[in-house]
Amino acid sequence: MNARPDASSLPIRLADYRAPAWRVERVELDFELGIATTEIGAKLLLRRDPAQDESLRLDGENLELISIALDGEVLADDAYRLVDGGLEVHGARDGSVLETRVRVHPAANTALEGLYLSGPSETGFLLTQCEAQGFRHITFFPDRPDVQAIYTVTLRADRARFPVLLAGGNPDGSGELEDGRHWARFVDPHPKPAYLFALVAGRLEKIEQDYRTADGRDVQLKIWAEADAIDRCHYAMDALVRSMRWDEQAYGRNYDLDVFHVVATHDFNMGAMENKGLNIFNTKCLLADADSSTDDEYRRVEAVVAHEYFHNWSGNRVTCRDWFQLSLKEGFTVYREQCFSADMNSAPLKRIEDVGLLRRAQFPEDAGPLAHPVRPAEYREINNFYTATVYEKGAELVRMLAGKLGTAGFRRGTDLYFSRNDGRAAALEDFLAALGEANDVDLSPYLAWYGQSGTPRLKAHGHYDATRHEYTLTLSQHTPASLQQPRKQPLPIPVKLALFGSDGRMLPLHTDGQTDASEIVVVLDEAEQCFVFRDVPERPVPSLLRGLSAPAVLECDYTPAELALLLGHDPDGFNRWDAGQQLALRAYDALRDGAHNGAVNAWCDTLAALFDDARLDAALLADLLVPPGEIELAERESVVDPARIYTLRQQLQQRLAARIGADKLEARYRSLAAQSTAGIDAVSQANRSLKQRVLQLLALLDPTAACHHAATQYLDAPSMTDRLAALGVLARHDAARSVEPLVHYRKRYASDPLALDKWFALQAQLPGEGALARVQALEADPAFTLKNPNRARALLGTWANGNPSGFHRADGAGYRLYADRLLALDALNPQIAARLATAFNGWQRLEPHRREAAHAALASLAGHDQLSRNLAEIVGNMLK
């Protein structure tokens, strides 16, 4: 049973923000826990803003009110009123104490928001998810982040059924009750918003470790999971300890409670949640071991553990004034997490991964009907705004600011930001002000980035004056108009650049400001500007937007030879990769247009040469050998035919494979396979990454040979990465031969949900029109269920988002099936339904047949009157 708030309710606007008329200073919560029914007592110490004259209104949804009293007196029926979405109370004063008692039904809560059950009724455990507005499903409360209270939480439950009782804060007593029940109390001394409240109760195992903070606090770290998963939590513990040290060193931030709990659940809408002192993780982002996790998953666990931990300061100690400021905590925390991962692994590889995600997920979002600024101006359903724009573009904006201030300056700025805003609910302006003031610079022009949607296009044109040895670079910017913002302003765009000579060396730069650097940042803050470089000995090749110094698309009139020069010689791995991506786009265009082969040859020749370069890092080489993906390619087309894009991209890769040659690919595969280990050190990971890429390329030339290797690799694989890579090659190139290993895998991992998710996802990704039938067959697998978000995403999400040629069938049957499943999902879990629905993004640019069919599917969805507010908003925006 889900609440169906009126789907047509009015949008919430940033411009309408007002400070709360009522705050809660302290809250005491009392849980009488049960699977079917839980009763919650709440005692609120209220504070009234003397400047406002409004009666008390509390948020509350799906709550059965049992009793209500104000200042010790049971309230008469006319002293309060249950209204849509909440409760109004008359007669409350500053300092009043409101007591309520409510009933909720955790086992019936399929939306996984508020208090819910993870797993079967008999064995599962109870947990909460309150961000963004789940707390109102637990008790009546001003459920907004600028109301920060001190929490005392008492949990009572049957000891045998719920041996472990946890809530955020420090433990404050526990004991026995009659009838085999027990209790435990927790006090959190740090005032916090309701969205950071959490509890967990049930049968859980733990691993623990002691930690002493840099400022001398002894902390117990405890990771909790169900019995079958607890042995896979050690890597997360290791990552947690490294995160805590890193935050002390990089930001001077210490942990601030005596215990830090982390809990793993299979049933979670998102990746993880930073509840104060009690982080809760999707198992997908917490569990890792050699037998069942890929290298990517190890890195994700490390990153997400760090991300949630870092929120303790960027999000919890300094929280958000309102949900429009979401990127204040998310963009900043993603940036912190990216830097941590770069420090723990390889900085260029990390940047390649992050920019890849930005281009694949955020740029398309920012160019389509769901585009919104990093700080949106309005929303109907806040859960729809946990987007790539708020997270990833938000992180890029922080990166831009950090780049502008330099490492020491940025640290001065964040120190001031944390100290000045500690315990407060802040806005993005507070962040920019602190960073700016600590460095005596005015960062307010950068605020425009937060308010404007769309990806700026950066055009560059170079002119070399051979007699004066002067190079003039003309940069211009343009952001395409969007529905909400028909006129876009120029933004301050930091363009990091270098100039290369024809021998592939970087030239020293002489401008008015700086001399002799080989890399500088110029800021383009008008529609068009010229930058002049003196004493340039020859016509240079510019390398622009290095490191992706701003979240923009570069349009530069390079020749293929110039890009090949950068791909071959840039000393910085990321920039080399990026030059290769641009060259691959040229090559793709040439193939598509049947044009001259210059770009194709330049791309293939340069990569073939790098393939033989023993000095090149294997993991970087693996990345260099991958052209931009189908989604990125589609972004550049005005009329999109996903099947054609798939075919052309395959052809492009085939050309590359042929240029390197089957013999070399085969030899490299054998030598990499001979050196394979199960380790997760950088060298072993790099080996696996390149080995997989080489095998994929070989499969395009000689599928028989490649499948032969793959079959052996599947059987011998010492790691999940190798096992899945082998399965993927087999399933793509020899369907018949893949049947047996797929069945084998299915059996071997029958009781490992995360490994099964990978089995579903791998098959959902197989390209072409056959994907639909495959998805339908997989839906019939007894392990498939829409009730578990990971499972639904693994099959349906992977198909719709990660397999364009398989999802976008010419006959539209993919869209119809998908819309049908979205409806079914919406009845269970609106957040997941809405998120999956974003796979229709870009439908307006599909070729006419597909476009028509996608439109029909969306329109039929929109026609349903029982849609959740979540799904209704996404579908509505999609059709605008």
- Residue 600 binding partner per list ligand PHE, Zn ion, none, with a CB distance cut-off of 5 to 8 Å that depends on partner kind: none
Segment interacting with ligand PHE (CB under 6 A) among 125-133, 676-684, 756-764, 804-812 = 125-133
Closer CB to ligand PHE, 386 or 646, in the complex: 386
Specify whether the CB–CB gap between 866 and 846 falls below 8 A.
no
Q: DSSP assignment, residue 504? A: S
Q: Does 317 contact ligand PHE by CB under 6 A?
A: no
CA distance 485 to 480: 9
Q: Between 112 and 564, whose beta carbon lies closer to ligand PHE? A: 112
Residue 164, beta-bridge partner list? 202
Specify whether the CB–CB gap between 299 and 345 falls below 8 A. Answer: yes
Strands 520-524 and 56-59: unpaired
Q: Is 272 in the site for ligand PHE (CB under 6 A)?
A: yes
**Shortest reach from residue 311's CB to Zn ion, in Å:** 6
CA nearest neighbour of 495 among 454, 462, 451: 462
Q: In which region does residue 180 sit, left (phi positive, over 0), alpha (psi from -120 to 50) or beta (all else)? A: left
Phi, psi torsion values for 343, nearest 5 degrees: -70, -35
The residue within the footprint of ligand PHE, chosen from 27, 35, 270, 634 (CB under 6 A), is: 270
| Annotation marks residue 630 as catalytic | no
Bin 714: left if φ > 0, else alpha if -120 < ψ < 50, else beta: alpha
Q: Which does 270 bind (CB under 5 to 8 A by kind): Zn ion, ligand PHE, none?
A: ligand PHE
Contact assessment for residue 619 and residue 682, using Cβ atoms and an 8 Å cutoff:
yes
The interface mask with Zn ion, positions 323-352, x = CB under 5 A, is -------x--x-------------------
Q: Residue 333 or residue 549: which is nearer to ligand PHE going by CB? A: 333
CB of 316 or CB of 582, closer to ligand PHE: 316
| Spatial contact of 261 and 240, defined as CB atoms under 8 Å apart | no
Query: Strand, coil or helix: what is 152?
Result: strand
DSSP string, 355-382: HHHIIIIIHHHHHSTT---SS-SEES-G
Which residue in the shown chain puts its C-beta closest to ligand PHE? 270
* Residue 868: C-alpha distances to residues 220, 381, 817, 831, 835 (Å): 41, 10, 19, 9, 12
> Pairing relation of β-strands 457-465 and 470-478?
antiparallel
Residues 570-609, one symbol each (x = binds ligand PHE by CB under 6 A, - = not), give ----------------------------------------
**Do strands 520-524 and 493-500 pair parallel, antiparallel, or not at all (unpaired)?**
antiparallel
Q: Near ligand PHE by CB under 6 A, which window of 81-89, 128-136, 689-697, 747-755? A: 128-136
Residue choice 222, 284, 307, 835 for contact with ligand PHE (CB under 6 A): 307
Which residue in the set 143, 247, 267, 274 belongs to the binding site for ligand PHE (CB under 6 A)?
274
- H-helix or E-strand containing 831? helix 830-837
The packing angle between helices 428-437 and 326-344, to 10°, is: 60
CB of 461 to ligand PHE, least distance (A): 40
Q: Minimum Å distance from CB 315 to Zn ion? A: 7
Q: How far is the CB of 6 from ligand PHE (least distance, A)?
A: 22
What is the nearest approach in angstroms of ligand PHE to the Cβ of residue 386? Answer: 5
Distance in Å, CB of 535 to ligand PHE, minimum: 49
Find the part of the chain contacting ligand PHE (CB under 6 A) among 138-146, 265-273, 359-367, 441-449.
Answer: 265-273
Residues 49-108 binding ligand PHE (CB under 6 A) are none
Residue count, binding to ligand PHE (CB under 6 A): 13
388 binds ligand PHE (CB under 6 A): no
Q: Give 383 or 763: the residue with its C-beta nearer to Zn ion.
A: 383
Least distance CB 255 / Zn ion (angstroms)? 17
Q: Which two tokens stand for residue 586?
A: 């040229």
- CB contact at 8 A, 62 and 104: yes
DSSP for residue 64? E
Q: Judged by CB, which is closer to ligand PHE: 307, or 360? A: 307
By CB under 6 A, is residue 308 in contact with ligand PHE?
Answer: yes
Per partner kind, with CB cut-offs from 5 to 8 A, the member of Zn ion, ligand PHE, none near residue 272 is: ligand PHE
Residue among 314 and 801 whose Cβ is closer to ligand PHE: 314
Is residue 231 a contact partner of residue 143, using CB atoms and an 8 Å limit? Answer: no
| Nearest approach, Cβ of residue 511 and ligand PHE (Å) | 41
Q: How far is the CB of 193 from ligand PHE (least distance, A)?
A: 12
Of the pair 273, 564, the CB lying nearest ligand PHE is at 273
Nearer to Zn ion among residue 30 and residue 330 (C-beta): 330
CA distance 356 to 707: 28
Q: Whose Cβ is closer to ligand PHE: residue 27's or residue 132's?
A: 132
Out of ligand PHE, Zn ion, none, what residue 549 binds, judged by CB under 5 to 8 A for its kind, is: none
Phi, psi values for residue 369, rounded to 5°: -70, -10
CB of 330 to Zn ion, least distance (A): 5
CA angle, residues 427, 432, 433, in degrees to nearest 5: 90
Exposed, middle or buried, 790 (CB in 10 Å: 0-12/13-18/19+)? buried
The nearer residue to Zn ion, 333 or 581, going by C-beta atoms, is 333
Q: What is the DSSP string of 91-134?
A: S--TT-EEEEEEEE-GGG-TT--EEEEES-TTT-EEEEE-TTTT
| Residue of 59, 61, 131, 302 interacting with ligand PHE (CB under 6 A) | 131
Per rule CB under 6 A, is residue 283 in the interface with ligand PHE? no
330 lies in the binding site for ligand PHE (CB under 6 A): yes
Is 722:650 a contact under the CB 8 Å cutoff?
no
Q: What are phi and psi of 409, to 5 degrees?
A: -65, -40
Q: Compute the least distance from the CB of residue 260 to Zn ion, in Å.
A: 17
793 interacts with ligand PHE by CB under 6 A: no
Q: Which of 28, 99, 308, 666 is catalytic?
A: 308
Which residue, among 878, 880, 876, has the nearest Cα to 9 in the 3D structure? 876
Task: Kindly state the tokens that stand for 530.
Answer: 């010229």
Q: By CB under 5 A, which span of 6-14, 322-330, 651-659, 857-865 interacts with Zn ion? A: 322-330
Our finding on whether 273 is near ligand PHE (CB under 6 A) is yes
Q: CA 828 → CA 7, 712, 787, 814, distances in Å?
A: 16, 42, 7, 21
Cβ atoms of 148 and 193 within 8 Å: the answer is: yes
Is residue 143 involved in binding ligand PHE (CB under 6 A)? Answer: no
Among 42-50, 126-134, 627-635, 792-800, the segment contacting ligand PHE (CB under 6 A): 126-134
Alpha-carbon Rg for the chain, nearest whole angstrom, is 28
**What is the distance between the alpha carbons of residues 337 and 521, in angstroms, rounded to a whole number?**
24
Annotated catalytic residues are 308
Return residues touching Zn ion (CB under 5 A): 330, 333
In the complex, the residues that contact ligand PHE under the rule CB under 6 A are 129, 131-132, 269-270, 272-274, 307-308, 311, 330, 386
